[in-house]
């Protein structure tokens, strides 16, 4: 049973991007807007800084107070978008509860939206008119190509319908010819939809949500969920996934957390940024 080494795949992309940035011979900057503090978001932000430094891309973080209003944040975002040196803009999610998240994301023009989260970018992607993919979709696509996973006529269950994972992944899967079921918190018994699935993809952020009794032998299990909690294997706080690691024993292909989709998603974000820089 292959366990996906997302770091190795991401390092391969990193080497390619470093060479491409050198060939472009232009300054590329990723602007990250961070509101308040979030432990999971902080871990991903550090990884973004590290990846950017490795490929020669400047990562500029704009830290804002957690009590900022939607209108104040939108105004600040507009200022950051209009800075010519900012090649791409990312709003670190989740935002505080008082913020209208989609209204903020819609303030990023598609030409500077490597995360593909504005309504315009989502529309371009959904209709097949975008040259780049949402980073998590790009990561899963890269994994499936690397491991020879075909999607045609496959039964796929996507757990979660959020803007970062569930929605874009489901759209992409349908466009690839898969038979897709999306389940959320309103589904009483998720097992009814996971037990016969060829592929299970989860992006909820609930540790251990999917266990061995919920999947069949030979399943392709892709874990995109991240949360901070206590691991049985170690006493300190750790990044945990939605899928119990024991599922790997039944799977034909397993993507763990940490070390699976996460590093690749960051690599795909920077790949998108380089594509935007070319324009």
Is there a binding annotation on residue 161? yes
Is there a binding annotation on residue 56? no
55: CB partners within 8 A, 6+ apart: 14, 17, 18, 21, 270
Q: What whole-number distance in Å separates Cα of residue 240 and Cα of residue 231? A: 7
Q: What whole-number distance in Å separates Cα of residue 191 and Cα of residue 117? A: 30
Q: What whole-number distance in Å separates Cα of residue 183 and Cα of residue 200? A: 11
Of 203, 247, 207, the C-alpha closest to 225 is: 203
Q: What whole-number distance in Å separates Cα of residue 119 and Cα of residue 121? A: 6
Backbone angles phi, psi at 239, to 5 degrees: -75, 125
Q: Tell me the β-bridge partners of 229.
A: 238
CA angle 53, 143, 29 (to 5 degrees): 25
- DSSP letter at 242 equals S
DSSP assignments along 45-113, one per residue? HHHHHHHHHHHT-EEEEEEE-TT--HHHHHHHHHHHHT-TT--EEEEPSPPPTTS-HHHHHTTS-GGG-
SS3 state at 206: coil
Per the structure block, which two tokens stand in for 163?
A: 């803007």
**Farthest CA pair distance, the chain:** 54
Q: Which residues are annotated as a binding site?
A: 160-162, 226
Q: Which residues are annotated as a binding site for NADP(+)?
A: 160-162, 226
């Amino acid at each position: 049973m292959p366990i996906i080494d997302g770091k190795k795949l991401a390092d391969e992309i990193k080497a390619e991007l470093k060479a491409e940035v050198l060939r472009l011979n232009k300054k590329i900057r990723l602007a990250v807007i961070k509101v308040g503090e979030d432990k999971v978001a902080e871990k991903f932000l550090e990884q973004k800084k590290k990846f950017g430094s490795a490929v020669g891309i400047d990562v500029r973080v704009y830290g804002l107070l957690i009590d900022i209003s939607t209108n104040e944040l939108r105004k600040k975002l507009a200022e950051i978008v209009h800075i010519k040196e900012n090649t791409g803009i990312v709003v670190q999610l989740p935002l505080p509860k008082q913020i209208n998240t989609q209204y903020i994301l819609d303030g990023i023009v598609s030409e500077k939206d490597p995360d593909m989260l504005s309504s315009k970018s989502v529309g371009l992607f959904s209709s097949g008119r975008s040259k780049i993919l949402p980073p998590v979709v790009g990561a899963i696509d890269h994994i499936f190509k690397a491991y020879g996973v075909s999607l045609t006529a496959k039964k796929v269950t996507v757990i979660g319908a959020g803007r970062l994972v569930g929605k874009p992944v489901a759209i992409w899967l349908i466009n690839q010819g898969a038979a897709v079921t999306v389940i959320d918190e309103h589904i009483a018994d998720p097992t009814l939809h996971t037990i016969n699935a060829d592929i299970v993809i989860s992006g909820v952020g609930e540790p251990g949500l999917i266990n061995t009794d919920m999947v069949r032998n030979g399943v392709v299990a892709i874990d995109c969920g991240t949360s901070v909690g206590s691991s049985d294997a170690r006493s300190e706080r750790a990044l945990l996934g939605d899928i119990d690691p024991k599922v790997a024993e039944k799977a034909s292909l397993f993507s763990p957390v940490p070390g699976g989709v996460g590093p690749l998603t960051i690599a795909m974000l920077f790949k998108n940024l380089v594509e935007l820089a070319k324009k």
